[in-house]
Amino acid sequence: MRPISRRDALLLGGLGTVATAAGAAGLWWSLASPRQPLGGALTGPGPNLLGPPELRSENGRLQLTLDAARGQVELGGRSAGALSYNGTVPGPTLRLRPGDELGIRLVNGLDEPTNLHVHGLHVSPQASSDNVFVEVMPGESFDYSYRLPADHPPGAYWYHPHHHGLVAGQIFAGLFGAIIVEEPEAIPVNSERVLIVSDTTLDSAGNIAAVTPMERMAGREGELLLLNGQSHPLLTARPGERERWRIINACVARYLRLRLDGQQLQLLGMDSGRSATPEPVDELLLAPGNRADLLVIAAAGESVLQTLPYNRGGMPGMMGRRRTPASGSAALAVFRVEGESGTPPGAVTARPAPEDLRPAAVAARRQLILAMGAGPGGMGGGMGGMRFSINGREYSEARTDTIVSAGTVEEWTLVNTSPMDHPFHLHVWPMQLIEDNGQGAGAVVMRDVVNVRANSRATVRIAFRDFRGRSVYHCHILDHEDQGMMGVIEVR
């Protein structure tokens, strides 16, 4: 087998090459017929990019309240009826350090249940920590408490609701925000940006639009593509400056194949994974839930941050029947570099190589089959009762699907028998990609979301360290999770 090179693994997050994805497009049905690029051509930049409000830990602790409520917020330059945390979309960015304690009082001002998941953080799944089985009813509140390990990996993470059956709708309507875990020693940059990409659809009254059973089956993609809640914002820098961009794909189902032509890009890592030195890249592919930590060395001129087409597959009968476009071309922002040359910051020092689990003793090997298809009792609501399952079973909170011994390393083979990609997410414990459809990973590739391409497979290894308790794994096409493609894991 041909190993995945370090460059391939970092460039596309261990998700396979773009050439493979594009070349295989004829093997499955497209999600939609060809349409104009999302939002049309970019005629000029919008207002300057705004960052979400930021809250930082002090003396090892960050305590805050998140009010989840329905109301009027600004989305893409217009007033919209949406959901938000503390009145903004995205919600506040939370900045932490390894070893910190994070306390969040979640106040539910919605008319439906909700809860909170800290996506990617390596924290306990029990009690009031990252416990997705908590249910916060309308008008009630819940006090979450998370303790980060002293050696927690730095990087970009995020928070969002995780009440089964309501996840996709609540995120699509605006409930999400960033979490940044800082390095012990800061990387020298001239400026840093948190860039959260989301999408949604507004109806004629300016409210979040309802979605059809077909859109839920495919995984909804919004007609309005946003960066920090803005349409086509302007980013500015001076030539020679080095910026750090932490990019989060908070879309329910949209894949982001990102390019910034005319600029020099270096990838520090994706999800919780880090490479020893920055890796030059031309483009990045972020599945829903993935994050990228990117250095941008500014060159004079004007560049467009854009997402290019990515075919994530589909099913017979779906051709041309959705009103939302597939993951197609769209301009996200304009990056304008002008003026006198800036002062370049100091060199980025090498970091220790991440641990490689390939030599580790494997306590168990498992196979998880991600499947979808028509059948009785499906949760899809129409379309012949579409079923979304893992190992032939749809999600049940009352059932534990996988039992793992604490402190062991396991190897899981993720098999996708469907004609659509399924990004696989495991809570609490990060995964090391070992093989992608038979191609071995040359580098150590750590992810908490691993894309399993249509009619394909991926193999990962997981070290179940530090924590015990019940949690979940699922497809991060969040409509698929809501309709049953999720399982319960317990580490004992």
pLDDT of res. 303: 97
What's the pLDDT tens digit per position in 342-390? 888 989 998 888 899 999 999 999 999 999 987 655 444 444 568 999 9
> 237: how many CB neighbours lie within 10 A of its CB?
23
What's the pLDDT tens digit per position in 49-83? 999 999 999 999 999 999 999 999 999 999 999 99
Tell me the mean pLDDT in the region 74-97.
97
263 exposure class (CB count in 10 Å sphere: 0-12, 13-18, 19+): middle
What the chain holds in terms of domains, given with CATH numbers, is: 7-42+187-337 (2.60.40.420), 54-181 (2.60.40.420), 364-491 (2.60.40.420)
Tell me the mean pLDDT in the region 165-184.
97
pLDDT of res. 351: 85
pLDDT of res. 354: 86
Tell me the mean pLDDT in the region 31-37.
32
pLDDT of res. 42: 52
pLDDT of res. 217: 94
Cα–Cα distance for residue pair 73/54, rounded to 1 Å: 18
In sequence order, the 6+-apart residues with CB closer than 8 A to the CB of 294 are: 244, 245, 246, 247, 265, 266, 267, 268, 281, 284
State whether the Cα torsion 36-42-47-49 is positive or negative: positive
The pLDDT confidence band at residue 36, using thresholds 50, 70 and 90, is very low
Name the nearest CA neighbour of 427 among 104, 122, 116, 161: 122
Would you say residue 423 has pLDDT above 70? yes
Cα–Cα distance for residue pair 56/267, rounded to 1 Å: 25
The pLDDT confidence band at residue 15, using thresholds 50, 70 and 90, is very low
Tell me the mean pLDDT in the region 409-429.
98
Cα–Cα distance for residue pair 285/10, rounded to 1 Å: 9
pLDDT of res. 298: 97
Q: Which residues share a beta bridge with 285? A: 257
CB 105 within 8 A of CB 90: no
CB 251 within 8 A of CB 198: yes
What's the pLDDT tens digit per position in 209-261? 999 999 999 999 999 999 999 999 999 999 999 999 999 999 999 999 999 99
* The two structure tokens encoding residue 472: 């979940």
pLDDT of res. 5: 45
Tell me the mean pLDDT in the region 269-286.
94
* The two structure tokens encoding residue 38: 């999302």
Q: What is the mean pLDDT of the chain?
A: 89
Tell me the mean pLDDT in the region 171-185.
96
Percent of the chain with pLDDT over 70: 86
Percent of the chain with pLDDT over 90: 80
Write down how long the chain is: 492
pTM of the model: 0.91
In sequence order, the 6+-apart residues with CB closer than 8 A to the CB of 185 are: 349
Would you say residue 477 has pLDDT above 90? yes
The pLDDT confidence band at residue 10, using thresholds 50, 70 and 90, is very low
The pLDDT confidence band at residue 442, using thresholds 50, 70 and 90, is confident
What's the pLDDT tens digit per position in 288-318? 999 999 999 999 999 999 999 999 998 755 5
